[in-house]
Amino acid sequence: MYSGGYTGKILRIDLSNRTAREEPLPEEMARAFIGGAGLGIKHIFDEVRPGTDPLGPDNILVFAPGPFTAAGVPCASRMAVTARSPLTGAVGMALSGGEFPTEIKFAGWDAIIIEGKADKPTYVAIMGSDVSFRDASHCWGTLTFDCQQIIKNELRDQNVRVCCIGPAGEHLSRIACIVNERRAVGRKGLGAVMGAKGLKAIAIRGSGRVAIASEDKYRAARAALLRAFKASPVLYPEFSQHGTPMVADLTGALGVLPAKNWTATGEFVPIEGIGRDAQAARKIGREHCHDCPVGCGQLRVAGAGPYAGILTEGPDFETVYAFGSGVGIGTVDPIIAADRLADELGLDSISAGVTVSFAMELFERGILTLEETDGIDLRFGNDQALMQLLRKMAFRDGLGDLLADGSLAAAKKIGQGTDKYAMQVKGLELPGYDVRALKAHGLGYATSYTGADHCRGYAFQEVFGVPIPWGVDRFAAEGKGKLTIWNQDVRTATLDCAPMCAFLLDMAVPATACENTAALMEGVTGLVFTPEEVMRVGERVNNLARAFNVREGFTRADDTLPERLMTEPLKAGASKGHVISRQDLDTMLDEYYSLRGWDVSTGTPTRAKLIELGLAYAADALGL
């Protein structure tokens, strides 16, 4: 059995029967999928039947940290949360840090699987191996930060770690997230899955420790990782001090900071008001996840106007885009306030902001009238309108009910060809990089198993100009299929399955990510991997996720981009004139599918490829 890293135990909680039981984590599963996203995707493929309602009791929700979590490995207090997404119908997987993931391991678990549906509002208290089901009626309707405090007080332990949903999840908004401390399990509507199950929160506390297989090998691997941290010209000098908002300055300079629902990229570039320096002026401190020496979480307080005094841990770059340039807001204080409000309501900031920007464009085009917007002036730049809509979306009030399920669902209800203004892929709203001038990044959006998701194949080569594994021309389509596969597979194995903080790959270990993971696996768990075998885990997980989506009806036709990105060249800025044409996308998709070993016409993994990866059962399930 395991000599370190893993506890070898999975906790399965059935809300319908109010039961909890321990299951083993087979070593062959750990070797094939490592942990995190790998374990989550493996379980939903095996257990969620085709056509399952994402908001029904038969969907499962998997919380999975990894073998490095709580083992003293820096930047590894991470967990993947996985279910069938109610927003996209595809694999829904999101990651989060903080303290909650570490507490799962301290409590003795490699994963927690939630199934069924409670007959009344419930929260689950996990105290090591002791699991209790508690009435959450008094918490139902509360904001996320308040809910956490109520539960800590009730359990008489301020060190209990709590993840919960807010009103958005309770009202089954398909863009609702899960919040633990001030960290969000954002995107894909996973908060609605909790809400549909009647699960307000999970509280957890443990006193165990994670064993280390080989202290000498562990120390050597950890030391090598920390040396890479210190050698990075960016990680400590810049990222540790400013967090992700520094990316706003870079994307602005590259001409790829999306603005006003992607109609004004390169034209509206309010870096002076929302960029690194503006954010730094509001900083009052930093936050660290467990075992993290970097501390990229930035505590900021709004300092002017009606938002003065509002505190948030953030906003991160994606929120700066979604609640800033994306909706035409060019000052930092409203973004800080909107970030705090979204966290308290339990709304994913990216999807919420992009959906609001979609509504603003429709208003400015005259498609939505003042009567239809509940009298709210939805012109770009109206920060008060943003605040009003966030609350309305979370409570499904008036116009908020139309927008609560994201931009694509709203477009389908509105009609009038408005789907072309919904900036999404597979139903998931676009992150903050205008990929008309970042073609591998765009291919990543199109092919990610979760929909438009910068974290599933981040092309740091194009964004930061890092020539690893090779240098690229960000405007070119040729060769981007091969690069995207590398980005997706390396990132999946080393960051999503381990899991570890994504910024390590981009800023500290881009050339040695698989080597570092292999060394840490041997030192922490005793399981021996070559770097090639680590990357193979990423390939396996991406193929299994693709198989899940194919089983749910997704095809090559769904690996696309919004019409605007393929027909409207950028009008200004350093990337003026660039576009991802349909021909560009088809060229990249052909290369991508061919190198993946997938059917080029459908985007379906071949039986031979699945068997090669040890996934013959997935091929059988697809009838291949």
pLDDT in tens, 137-153: 999 999 999 999 999 99
Q: What local confidence, expressed as pLDDT, does residue 235 receive?
A: 81
Asked if the structure places residue 357 within a domain, the reply is: yes
Q: Please check whether residues 496 and 357 belong to one and the same domain.
A: no
Q: Please check whether residues 318 and 453 belong to one and the same domain.
A: no
Asked if the structure places residue 286 within a domain, the reply is: yes
Asked if the structure places residue 365 within a domain, the reply is: yes
Q: Please check whether residues 408 and 480 belong to one and the same domain.
A: no
Residue 242's pLDDT band, with cuts at 50, 70 and 90, is: confident
> What's the CATH code of the domain at 74?
3.60.9.10
Alpha-carbon gap, residue 42 to 99, rounded angstroms: 25
Question: In the predicted model, what is the mean pLDDT of residues 282-300?
Answer: 86
Read off φ and ψ for residue 183, nearest 5 degrees.
Answer: -105, 140
Question: In the predicted model, what is the mean pLDDT of residues 46-73?
Answer: 98
Q: What local confidence, expressed as pLDDT, does residue 234 receive?
A: 86
Q: Please check whether residues 403 and 486 belong to one and the same domain.
A: no
Q: Where a domain ends, among 381, 397, 423?
A: 423
CA neighbor of 256 nearest in space, from 395, 437, 125, 119 = 437
> What's the CATH code of the domain at 523?
1.10.599.10
Q: Where a domain ends, among 388, 423, 458?
A: 423
pLDDT at 292 over 90: no
> What's the CATH code of the domain at 370?
1.10.569.10
Q: Where a domain ends, among 390, 423, 456?
A: 423
Q: What local confidence, expressed as pLDDT, does residue 296 receive?
A: 82
Question: In the predicted model, what is the mean pLDDT of residues 322-335?
Answer: 98
Asked if the structure places residue 211 within a domain, the reply is: no
Q: Please check whether residues 118 and 23 belong to one and the same domain.
A: yes
Asked if the structure places residue 568 within a domain, the reply is: no
Q: Give the residue ranges of DSSP H helices in 396-479.
A: 399-403, 407-414, 439-447, 460-463
pLDDT in tens, 471-486: 999 999 999 999 999 9
Q: Please check whether residues 137 and 253 belong to one and the same domain.
A: no
Q: Please check whether residues 193 and 284 belong to one and the same domain.
A: no
Q: Quote the crossing angle between the two packed helices 439-447 and 582-596, to the nearest 10°.
A: 60
Return the residue matching tokens 């109010």. Answer: 18
Asked if the structure places residue 160 within a domain, the reply is: yes
> Residue 445 in 3-state DSSP?
helix
Q: Please check whether residues 50 and 168 belong to one and the same domain.
A: yes
CA neighbor of 101 nearest in space, from 155, 48, 64, 51 = 64
* pTM of model > 0.85: yes
Asked if the structure places residue 237 within a domain, the reply is: no
Q: What local confidence, expressed as pLDDT, does residue 236 receive?
A: 84
Q: Please check whether residues 441 and 370 belong to one and the same domain.
A: no
Q: Quote the crossing angle between the two packed helices 407-414 and 349-364, to the nearest 10°.
A: 30
pLDDT at 1 over 80: no
Q: Please check whether residues 341 and 482 belong to one and the same domain.
A: no
- Structure-block tokens of residue 440: 């591998």
Q: Please check whether residues 57 and 20 belong to one and the same domain.
A: yes
Asked if the structure places residue 311 within a domain, the reply is: yes
- Number of domains forming the structure of the chain: 3
Please answer whether residues 323 and 315 qualify as being in contact, where contact means their C-beta atoms are separated by less than 8 angstroms: yes
- Structure-block tokens of residue 177: 């997230």
Domain limits at 361?
245-423
pLDDT at 505 over 80: no
Residue 297's pLDDT band, with cuts at 50, 70 and 90, is: confident
Q: Please check whether residues 379 and 285 belong to one and the same domain.
A: yes
